[in-house]
Structure 1
């Protein structure tokens, strides 16, 4: 049972984007059989700085593990994420709002990410863990759909972490529909389109190519219901929509 739990933890960390580099530390901590333990790791991401230069964002992750009521059965309880030693937030895990290491970074830099959620306006809507999607009971009065979320840096919850802004389907932003308004070459190829949609849904700034062969970066901005374009120096661009589609709007 203990080995099964360890393998589950390793797979979970890999799925969340932490790779396998923490496996040795994880094994050592689990073998100590403490009530809880922490593992720290840092990462760097390419990022455009305020002066326009290309630099690095440094992110520190503190992974907090707790032991359940089962003997020597551990789970990832939360991850405290700190961006450039300036902004910090703790993300809870195992409660239906799991975000990957890259998604946590993107949220802290102000981006939005796309998640499955239980939609029930009679209660607080919550974000689903991927494993929960197939566990919904028919006739429960709850519906699974996708929502966009971003951190609200003006509000904190009872635990002192940033609250979420949530944008539901009826907010009026549909990523694929909005992208189709613009002359983006990647939309002409199914696999390239799927990569583009998936990357933007994780909150990334994704490189793409316009029909005039100009390389751009794209970000999804569901709050403003638009796609934001940037040039290779990350200056904002005004890209005109496809004329034929705009005539039918």
Structure 2
């Protein structure tokens, strides 16, 4: 009988399912492996065939094609250790996928990430590109294999923001134990805004601080220097918001969402209630000067003092209709004893003038939206 190559045997067995039962005391070359469609069947097989000379175990092969390719590349050494390494690599891939997603780069890089890890190179890079608020933003993600095993780590990424007119800003952000500045936060930092982060000092103690890039100074690696405003610096974002007549502060939920968005460094659109009128503006945190920056729809800076002053000067509104004292109808005309007779046409003219002088908000023809995430 002609011998069947082990790779062909594995390929044939994989058609039966993804649950692999294998003998830990033998190599796959000895044909000591079986595949099952159901987990219960694989477990039962291992239980029934266990003995002093045979130690069976089972595992799920999530990517059979990848497993088969590795088996073809290593036909002389396919045993429980091989399967253990395969499972370890699979877990490494899944962990890195979740980390890339958590850091704000989505899922589009997952397929390329898996392919790069399968190639087994000591290090590799992935390119992420997108448009945020009509500005091109990209990042080069850096991965490196451990010196002690085949595990890969996501160590850093270099982000680049196109500011327009041929100008751009670039910064490398490092990742420590799976945590660091997210992609959206990197965009906001490069765009000039501050981000509130939980950091760790040399003693592995956690603390909170606002971060902001210093575009006038760089370190020896070409990165912008990072200014930190520790929580002891005294910047109270919630207190600064309370001084503004912002509609989105009416409920605790709205307040919490607004604070969270500003802490991520977002330029947030809000509704300003000013003297009975509503105005759509954009705000951002300014920890350096312990305040809130305000901008109109054209991103022109607004002065908070003027807004609050105008609100204080605005006349009080009332829903009560003006009352005419001692009035009576005479031949279809409305007669006021103090001011004579008003015809119907005169009355309409007065009402029209009242409406024109009203401080009630007029219908807006359009609005601009800002960053909300």
- TM-score above 0.5, yes or no: yes
Structure 1 segment 141-156 matched on structure 2, within 5 A: 144-156=206-218
Q: Report which structure shows greater RCO (CA 8 Å, sep ≥6).
A: 1
- Select which of 160, 170, 173 maps to 1:82: 160
Would you say the 8 A contact 1:81–1:90 is kept in 2? yes
Q: Give the equivalent residue in structure 1 for 2:301.
A: 236
What is residue 11 of structure 1 aligned with on the other side?
A: 98
Does structure 2 retain, via aligned residues, the 8 Å contact 1:16–1:100? yes
Summarize deviations over 1:10-50 as a string: whole Å, max 9, x none: 1111111111111011011011111000000211111xxxx
Q: TM-score, normalised by structure 2?
A: 0.54
Count the aligned residue pairs. Answer: 214
Indicate how the Cα distance of structure 1 residues 173 and 150 shifts in structure 2: closer, same or farther if over 3 A, else same.
same
Matched with 1:110 is 192
**8 Å contact kept, 1:228–1:236:** yes
Task: State how 1:1-249 maps to structure 2 within 5 Å.
Answer: 1-46=88-133, 56-84=134-162, 86-94=168-176, 98-118=180-200, 125=201, 144-212=206-274, 213-240=278-305
Q: Normalising by structure 1, what TM-score? A: 0.79
Query: What is the CA distance between 1:156 and its match in structure 2?
Result: 2.3
Which ranges in structure 2 are unaligned for 5 or more consecutive residues? 1-87, 310-373
SS in 2 for 1:163: strand
Comparing 183-192 with 233-242, which one deviates more in the overlay?
Answer: 233-242
- Aligned partners of 1:117 and 1:92: how far apart in 2? 12
Pairwise CA RMSD of aligned residues?
Answer: 2.1
Between Structure 1 and Structure 2, the one with more strand by share is 1
Query: Which 4+ runs in 1 deviate beyond 6 A?
Result: none
| Partner Cα separation in structure 2 for residue 117 and residue 63 of structure 1 | 21
Q: After superposing the two structures, state which structure 1 stretch, 35-44 or 168-177, moved more.
A: 168-177
